[in-house]
Amino acid sequence: MTAKGETAAAMQTIIRDATIVTGDRTRSVLHHGAIVVDGDRIVAVGPSADMVARYPHAQVIEGSGKAVFPGLINCHTHLCLTSSRGIQEDFGFPSTLRFPVTVQAMLSREENAVFAVLGALEALRSGTTALLEIGRGTDAYSDALATTGLRLVLADTASDLDPAGVPAGRFEYVPSLREAALQRTSDLISRWHGAAGGVISCMVAPHAPEACSPELLRETRAIAERADIGYTIHLNQSRWEVEAVMRVRGVRPTEYLFQQGFLGPRLVAGHCRFIHPLEIELLGQSRAFVSYNAAIAARRGFAAPIQALEAAGCTIAMGSDNMAEDMVEVMRTGLFLERVARQDGQSPQPEDVLEWATRNGAHALSLGERAGSLEVGKQADLVVVNCRRANLVPTLRIVSAFVHNGQARDVESVMVAGQWLMRDGRVLTIDEDDIVTRAEEIGHRAWGDLVERYPDVDFPIRLPRSPRG
C-alpha cells in the first residue's frame, strides 16, 4: 500500500542545477536553479540546493548545462499549409501562381490532417508549447492535433465573400455562406473549447476585412463575447487587401473594423504590415494584440511597424503563419527586422523578443493565468535547451545567446501542463517517421497532380518525379 505522501511525491519532478529563464515581469534568470512540477503545476522555483532539500522524494532530472525556458507561443499559424513548403514562400502574397485551386484542395481530409500534424511536429521540436491554429474546416483534423499534447487554440476561418467574383473585381457577400461559417464556428467552440482539461480552447476567426461583410464581423464578435473568448483576423497583410477594402468600403481596413465595433482588447490582429498611422492609432487605442509574423514578413519583403504599434498601445505577440513552424527562427527574424527598421543595433533587446513570444503570446490567447512564464501556480509549459552547443557557449547571457544563435535542434525536451511531449530529443506523442514519410509522399503526389491538371498555368519549377528524385 502506498502512503499518501509517496503518491504525491511520485507526481513531483525537479529539474535541478539548470539556468531557469522565468519569463516573469522582472525577466529574472536564476543560475544553478531548479524548478519543481507537481502534476500539471509549477509549485516552486529557486536555488537548486534549497529545492532538492524541500522536495526530497521528487523525481530528479539533472539540468546541468541546460536552460529551462517558458514554452514558445505561436499566435498565428495555418498548420496544413506545410503542404506548400518550398514553393509558396517565393511567389509573394497574394500568390503570383495562378492555379485556380490550391494544393490543399487536392488533398483528402486525412491527408490534410497529416500536414497539420507535420506542422505540429515542427512546432514541438522548435520549442512551441501553445499555438493558435486558424484553418478552414479545422474540425476535420482537430482530433489528430489533439493527440500531439500541444496546447491548442483552435479557430475556423469565417468568410461570406463569394470567391467566384473576386478575380473579376466583384465583392459579393452571401448570407448562406455567412450562416454556414457561423455554424462551423459555433460547432467548433461547442466541441473543443475547454477540452483535454483546458489544454484545448477556441477563438473566433473572421478571415480578413475584404472577406467579411459588416454583418459577419458583428456576429463573429458577438459569438466571441458570448463564449467569453478572444477573436482574431488577418489585417493589413497586403496592398491588395488595402485597395480592395478602400474600393468596397471607402475606408482603410482598420477603419472599417472600427466602424463595425470590431476593435477591442481581445482582438489578435495578424500581420499589420501595410497599415496607415491613423489605423495604428485606432488599433492602439483599442488595446488590441498584434501577432508579429516576422519570418513570413521577411519572406514577403515587408514588415509591420512594430515600434509604432507598441507605442500606440498594442501588445506585441508573435506567430509563424505559413509553411513553417519554427518559433526560434521567428524570434530571431523579428529581432533583426526590427533593428533594421529602427536603424538601431540595441533595440529591441533579445529579452523583449522573448517576452513577445512567451508572456505576451499567452495573454493574447487568453492563457495568461496558465502559461507564458515559469512562475509558481502556472501550468508547467516549458522547454529544456541544451546549452552545451557550439552555437550557444559561452552561456553568459543565455536569452541573448538563444535568440541570436539558437536553433530548433538545441531544444531537447518539451513539457505541456506537466506532461512530457518530447524527452532527450525523442518526440513521445507523434510517430515522427510515419508522419514525415506520409507527408513527403502526399506532397509530391498532390503537387504533381496539380501541375498535371492545369498544364496551361505557368509554373516555373521543375518538380522531381517522386520523393526519391
The predicted structure's pLDDT at residue 5 = 35
The share of the chain scoring above pLDDT 90, in percent, equals: 96
Q: pLDDT digit string (tens) for 127-156?
A: 999 999 999 999 999 999 999 999 999 999
Classify 76 in phi/psi space as left (phi over 0), alpha (psi -120 to 50) or beta.
beta
Grid look-up 503545476 returns 41
The predicted structure's pLDDT at residue 11 = 81
Grid look-up 534549497 returns 50
Decide if pLDDT at 319 tops 50.
Answer: yes
Distance CA 94, CA 263 (A): 25
Mean pLDDT over 97-116 rounds to: 95
Which of 449, 345, 455, 466 lies closest to 102 in space, CA to CA?
A: 449
Judge: domain 4-70+380-427, CATH 2.30.40.10: yes
Distance CA 40, CA 241 (A): 43
Q: Sign (positive/negative) of CA torsion 89, 90, 96, 97?
A: negative
pLDDT tier at 469, thresholds 50, 70, 90? low
User: Which contacts qualify for 29-32: CB closer than 8 Å, 24 or more apart?
Assistant: 29/398, 29/399
CA distances from 235 to 142, 324, 381 (A): 25, 20, 29
Decide if pLDDT at 465 tops 80.
Answer: no
The reply to whether omega before 394 is within 30° of 0 (cis) is yes
Decide if pLDDT at 59 tops 70.
Answer: yes
The predicted structure's pLDDT at residue 1 = 21
Look up residue 43 and give its amino acid. V
Mean pLDDT over 433-451 rounds to: 96
Select from 2.60.40.10, 3.30.750.200, 3.20.20.140, 2.130.10.10 the CATH code of 72-364. Answer: 3.20.20.140
Classify 194 in phi/psi space as left (phi over 0), alpha (psi -120 to 50) or beta.
left
This model's pTM is above 0.85: yes
Q: pLDDT digit string (tens) for 240-272?
A: 999 999 999 999 999 999 999 999 999 999 999
Assign 372 to helix, strand or coil.
Answer: coil
User: For residue 213, how many C-alpha atoms fall within 13 Å in the half-sphere facing its CB?
Assistant: 17
Helix spans in 35-174 (H): 48-54, 109-125, 139-146
Decide if pLDDT at 96 tops 90.
Answer: yes
Q: Pairing relation of β-strands 411-416 and 382-386?
A: antiparallel
- Cβ–Cβ < 8 Å for 152, 198: no
Taking the CB of residue 117, how many other CB atoms lie within 10 A of it?
A: 26
Decide if pLDDT at 218 tops 50.
Answer: yes
User: Which contacts qualify for 285-289: CB closer than 8 Å, 24 or more apart?
Assistant: 285/312, 285/313, 286/258, 286/313, 287/313, 287/314, 287/315, 288/263, 288/264, 288/314, 288/315, 289/75, 289/314, 289/315, 289/316, 289/317, 289/360, 289/363, 289/364
Give the relative orientation of helices 350-357 and 327-342 as an angle to the nearest 10 degrees.
130
Mean pLDDT of the chain: 95
Distance CA 322, CA 299 (A): 10
Decide if pLDDT at 8 tops 70.
Answer: no
Q: Where are the domains of the chain?
A: 4-70+380-427, 72-364
Q: pLDDT digit string (tens) for 384-434?
A: 999 999 999 999 999 999 999 999 999 999 999 999 999 999 999 999 999
